[in-house]
A and B are shown apart, each in its own frame.
Chain A
Amino acid sequence: MTAVRVLVGTQKGGFILTADGSRSRWEVSGPLFGGWEVYHMNGSPAAPERLYASQSTGWFGQLIQRSDDGGATWRPMGNQFSYDGQAGTHQWYDGTPHPWEFARVWHLEPSATDPDFVYAGAEDAALFRSTDGGASWSELPGLRTHDSGPDWQPGAGGMCVHTILIDPSDADRLHVAISAAGVFRSDDAGRTWSPANHGLHSEGIPDASAEVGHCVHRIARHRDLPDVLFMQKHWDVMRSDDRGGTWREISGDLPSDFGFPIALHAHEPETVYVVPITSDSEHYPPEGKLRVYRSRTGGGEWEPLGTGLPQADCYVNVLRDAMAVDSLDDCGIYFGTTGGQVYGSSDAGDTWAPIVRDLPRVLSVEVQTLL
Chain B
Amino acid sequence: MIRVVLPQHLRTLAGTGRQVQVAVDGPVTQRRVLDALEQEYPVLRGTLRDPTTQRRRPFIRFFACEEDLSHHPPDELLPASVVSGREPLYIVGAMAGG
Q: Which residues of A contact B52 (CB under 8 A)?
A: 80, 82
Measured CA separation A204–B55 after assembly (Å)? 37
Indicate whether B85 reaches chain A with its CB closer than 8 angstroms: no
Contact for A58 among B10, B46, B59, CB less than 8 A:
B59
Measured CA separation A61–B93 after assembly (Å)? 12
Residues of B within 8 Å of A, CB-based: how many? 21
**Across the interface, do B57 and A61 meet the contact criterion of CB distance under 8 Å?**
yes
Q: Chain A interface residue count: which class?
A: 10 to 19
Q: In residues 56-83 of chain A, which contact B (Cβ within 8 Å)?
A: 57-63, 76, 79-80, 82
Q: Which residues of A contact B57 (CB under 8 A)?
A: 59-61
Measured CA separation A36–B45 after assembly (Å)? 17
B residues lining the A interface (CB < 8 Å): 7-10, 12-13, 43, 45-48, 50-52, 57, 59-60, 93-94, 96-97
Indicate whether A199 reaches chain B with its CB closer than 8 angstroms: no
Contact for B51 among A36, A58, A76, A79, CB less than 8 A:
A79
Contact for A60 among B10, B96, B97, CB less than 8 A:
B10
**Across the interface, do A59 and B59 meet the contact criterion of CB distance under 8 Å?**
yes
Q: Which residues of B contact A61 (CB under 8 A)?
A: 46-47, 50, 57
Q: Which residues of A contact B48 (CB under 8 A)?
A: 60
**Across the interface, do B9 and A35 meet the contact criterion of CB distance under 8 Å?**
yes
**Nearest B-chain residue to A11, judged by Cβ:** B98
- In the assembled complex, the CB of A85 is this many whole angstroms from the nearest CB of chain B, namely 12
- In the assembled complex, the CB of B11 is this many whole angstroms from the nearest CB of chain A, namely 12
**Across the interface, do B60 and A59 meet the contact criterion of CB distance under 8 Å?**
yes
Q: Which residues of A contact B10 (CB under 8 A)?
A: 60
**Across the interface, do B45 and A57 meet the contact criterion of CB distance under 8 Å?**
no
Contact for B47 among A34, A60, A82, CB less than 8 A:
A60
Measured CA separation A60–B10 after assembly (Å)? 8
**Nearest A-chain residue to B92, judged by Cβ:** A59
Given contacts A59-B94, A61-B46, A76-B43, contact A82 B51 (CB under 8 A): yes
